Amino acid sequence: MMADSNKGFIPQLDKRRSSTKVGFITDWGAGEVVKPFIDACNLAFEDALAAGILDRPVELLARDVDGLPTGNAFDVLETWKELAAEGVVAIIGPHVSENCLAMRHYIETEGLVPTIGWAGSDEWQGKWTFALNQGSLVEEPCIMANFLAHKKVKKVAVLVENSAIGREYLEHFLRYARFEGLNIGEQFHFSQVAVEMDELVAEVKASGADSIAYLGFGVPLVRLRKAMQRLDWLPVTILTTSFLTTPLLEGGMQGTAGFFGVDLYDEENPLTQEFSDRFEARFGYRASNYYTVNAYDIANVVAHGISYGHPIAPDGVRRGMEKVKYLPAVSGGAGTLISYGPYVRRGWMGKDYLVVREAHDGEGGFFSSMPSRLVHRMTPRTLAERAAAREA
């Protein structure tokens, strides 16, 4: 009887072990452009399985919801709860900082499923909330100020969205601008979903600024560029990773041609090119951009967390993700690594995980290379150079 019982039990055990569920949320109403993100995640899980890091495949349960700034955070939280109820061991997303901040307390106190995304706010990070941030509200202002200093601009106007991330960006940009010796002019605050930018641009031009630092999520950016065109005025304009919002807008990144922005894609990273080749071979199109490299790295962290964590359940995977150390990244410049720890929830190691790129009016998008070119890496200036700038 025992032998017969075992024969009936073994197939059920194999079926139960056939896959591990991981949740996936995009929280900006991505629609069809979510495909490259999902494909990159699935490639990371397939690579981990082929390498023996995972001993069973991952089933990705994907949801797309319109959160802030154009939707609401409540719908994002409800989507997260639905995925948690389906038995996932980790959740990728949400990613927009404001949605993340709105639901962090619930995840930390009741949800208790490890959650990782590209939110840039340091306030997102907690016991259960991990960041592999697509930029950082603290660090982006540093490279932005450094870039403007190297451009030798005379006066910087600061454009700030009225939002949680706009305020956080502003605090740190002003700090780093002082460090770099920049001359900061007027601050202009406006709605993060502004539909009319002509009056604002006229005021900025009248302030005498020859450069602009844009702090926010970036929904108004294409309209900002059109308003500048109407005034025949294009100052040096540096964007946060709102630069990476532009492909989602009508007109796309091409609509912000001439703007500079913070990005994670660096074609000079050999791991990036190797990833792009494998992605194209696997899926039949070459999505060489920030969207896919960041997605792959996030899923790779989750794959290693599943491998290192026992049991394969939310708390085990959380502890497994804390054991990820010196994981090579396909995002950022050559040598970018990813590491976590029991009190470390920000994964990037290396200054070149962020670079500055310039948008141009060529063709491109989520399913190809973005129309932009690499123009700047974080390049520290000497004490004497910074002092000279302050005296100028």
Q: What is the pLDDT of residues 69-80, one digit of tens each?
A: 889 999 999 999
Contact 47, 7 (CB under 8 A): no
Q: Which of 114, 24, 35 is nearest to 292 (CA)?
A: 35
Q: How many domains, in total, are found in the chain?
A: 2
pLDDT tens for each residue of 7-50: 343 334 344 458 999 999 999 888 888 999 999 999 999 999 99
- Mean pLDDT, 10 residues at a time, the chain of 392 residues: 38 58 93 92 98 97 94 97 98 95 97 96 96 94 98 97 94 97 97 91 98 96 96 97 91 94 96 97 95 97 97 97 98 97 95 96 89 96 92 80
Contact 217, 245 (CB under 8 A): yes
Strand-strand pairing, 372-377 and 58-64 = unpaired
Asked, for residue 5, whether it belongs to a domain, the answer is no
Taking the alpha carbons at both ends of the chain, their separation in whole angstroms is 91
170 and 274 part of one domain: no
Measured CA angle at 199 (ends 250, 158), to 5 deg = 80
Domain region containing 367:
140-263+354-391
Q: Which of 33, 34, 31, 54 is nearest to 44 (CA)?
A: 54
pLDDT tens for each residue of 198-252: 999 999 999 999 999 999 999 999 999 999 999 999 999 999 999 998 988 888 8
Instruction: In whole angstroms, give the CA distance from residue 208 to residue 185.
Output: 8
Contact 40, 292 (CB under 8 A): yes
120 and 145 part of one domain: no
249 and 279 part of one domain: no
Structure confidence at residue 17 (pLDDT):
53
Residue 346, strand partner residues: 131
183: domain CATH number is 3.40.50.2300
Encoded tokens for 129: 């909330």
206 and 255 part of one domain: yes
pTM of the model: 0.91
Measured CA angle at 299 (ends 367, 62), to 5 deg = 70
148 and 74 part of one domain: no
Asked, for residue 213, whether it belongs to a domain, the answer is yes
85 and 192 part of one domain: no
Instruction: In whole angstroms, give the CA distance from residue 261 to residue 187.
Output: 19
Place of tokens 């599943």: 306
